[in-house]
Structure 1
Amino acid sequence: MTPLLRIHGLRKRHGERTLFDIDTLAIEAAGAYVLTGVNGAGKSTLLRTLAGLERVDACTVEFEGRSMPLYPYPKALRRAIVFVHQHPILFSTSVFHNIAYGLLARGDSRRSVAPVVEEAMAWAGVAHLRDTEPARLSGGEKQRVALARARVLQPRLLLLDEPTANLDGPAREQVMALIPTLLDAGSSVVMACHDRDLIGLPGIHRLKLRDGRLELR
């Protein structure tokens, strides 16, 4: 089976230091992966590279069997890959408009967007916060809004940077419960994390970044 995404020769340097040098990274369609490694190993930078937010040295990319460059970042990847930051940046509007933003930016009509956003808010358990300003949300609520904002875009690949970090017990469990449903919807998910419960979810493949190399475990 052809992987959803395969990258060859993925290399990133910070000054004289090689942060990572990865011969091949392959992500299967509807696959779930955790990316582990010590602090400073380059996990977040790797996710940002895949999302087109960090430039890397020359490499080759195959997306759904089609060859393309990673830089300039291709439109096909920009539409298919969504990155969710550990500390999501939300606009100072409302929960509804934050979730709707990406769809409206793509040119979807407000009429078609509204029911999609309503369904996503229900999925994320934030429907009761529909008109709330993000500044009033807890960390767990912000993370669930960010996941809903990503989900409505129907990404082929979702990149999550420490999705449960700094959340209390109930909030962490609420976010964790959403992950399997993203996979059920057909998205591949790669999560940089240290959370043992996320790492131990059924069917999760473990990628470990160590000394600049990527190990599949």
Structure 2
Amino acid sequence: MLPQTKLQTSSEVESNASQGGERRKALLGLRGLRKRHGERLLFDIDRLEIATHAAYVLTGMNGAGKSTLLRVLGGLERAEIDSLRFEGREVRHHPYPRALRQSIVYVHQHPVLFSSSVAHNVGYGLALRGGAARQQAALVEEAMAWAGVLHLQGTDPARLSGGEKQRVALARARILQPRLLLLDEPTANLDGAAREQVLELIPALVEEGSSVVVACHDRDLINLPGVHRFKLRDGRLEVR
């Protein structure tokens, strides 16, 4: 059964925050975003804003630049940007400084997993940040349970199905507690139960406090209640 969780819209988030005495600002805001491939202008976006604790789908035809836009938002690929603000603060460097990179996580359509174990993969990014080994082990176990892969913790990822790999990748991203999570076609090439299991995790990420942007063609994901829509068309970004 597909998830029916209603995700908060940005206006609902601001209203709830205002009731607590603090109005939330946009998480990420860009002005004058342009990306070129040689002489070709892939996209020219006047304005793009992502609210805190909100979910977005990014659609468009193949080749429109969806994956490239996600990588630019994640600081993984250079672009021309007139101005960029994160949590209300101006960012003058792109690719991003380290502190901002740690707040944003990008998950590839075909996530790269190390040939070790599921547990090692889930905890890899956390281990790079350092900390007490016992605490990290507890967090890894909790993340695997959240993603439904705890029973696979000692398994070589090469033996996993496509859906299991995606859930491992989501657990690896979630454990870092990103402020912004960028997912590139997370349900592509998944069928049946595997697809539904991945779909169920995405609203859960928003409920836990992350903002999520998903590039996809999946109609069930696009039509989830409360999800905002971006569409890349002819180099421009339409907001729906």
Q: Using structure 1 for the length normalisation, give the TM-score.
A: 0.98
Matched residue, 2:201:
178
Does the aligned pair in 1 maintain the 2:76–2:95 contact within 8 Å? Answer: no
Report whether the alignment pairs 1:83 with 2:106. Answer: yes
Residue of structure 2 equivalent to 1:24: 47
- Displacement of 1:164: 0.1
Indicate the SS of the match to 2:34. Answer: strand
The Cα shift of 1:71 comes to 1.3
Distance (whole Å) between structure 2 residues aligned to residue 102 and residue 85 of structure 1 = 15
Q: 1:42 to 1:70 in 2, by over 3 A?
A: farther
Partners of 2:118 and 2:220 in 1: CA distance: 28
1:128 corresponds to: 151
Task: Tell me the number of residue pairs that the alignment of Structure 1 and Structure 2 aligns.
Answer: 217
Structure 1: how far apart are the matches of 2:113 and 2:85? 32
The one-letter amino acid of 1:129's match is: L
Q: Which residue of 2 aligns with 1:166?
A: 189
CA 1:57 to 1:92, structure 2 compared with 1: closer, same or farther past 3 Å? same
Distance 1:70 1:211, change over 3 A: farther
Gaps of 5+ in 2: 1-23
> Is the contact made by 1:140 and 1:171 (CA closer than 8 Å) also made in structure 2?
yes
- Work out whether residues 111 and 169 of structure 2, in 8 Å CA contact, stay in contact via their aligned partners in 1: yes
The answer to whether structure 1 residue 142 and structure 2 residue 165 are counterparts is: yes
Residue of structure 2 in register with 1:60 after alignment: 83
Distance 2:71 2:132 in 1: 30
Percent pairwise identity: 71
Q: 2:223: which partner in 1?
A: 200
Report if the CA contact (8 A) 1:60-1:70 is conserved.
no
Out of 100, 124, 127, the residue aligned to residue 123 of structure 2 is: 100
In 1, the alpha carbon distance for the partners of 2:98 and 2:30 equals: 16
Contact residue 43 and residue 236 of structure 2 kept, 8 A? yes
Asked if the contact 1:52/1:70 (under 8 Å) is kept, the reply is: no
Q: Measured at CA, do residues 44 and 62 of structure 1 come closer, stay the same or move farther in structure 2, by a change above 3 Å?
A: same
Amino acid at match of 1:17: R
1:43-92 alpha-carbon deviations (Å, 9 max, x no partner)? 00000111111111243111111001241422232011000000000011
Indicate which of 18, 37, 41 corresponds to 1:14: 37
Is this contact kept in 1: 2:31–2:81, CA < 8 A? no
Superposed CA offset, 1:120-142 (max 9, x none):
11110000100000100000000
Task: Spell out, residue by residue over 1:20-47, the C-alpha distance to the aligned partner (whole angstroms, 9 max, x if none).
Answer: 1111110000110000000000000000
* 2:39 is the alignment partner of 1:2: no
1:157 maps to 180
* Structure 1 stretches of at least 4 aligned residues deviating more than 3 Å after TM superposition: none
Question: What is the root-mean-square deviation in Å for CA atoms of aligned residues?
Answer: 0.9
Q: Which amino acid aligns with 1:92?
A: S
CA distance in 2, matches of 1:15, 1:102: 34
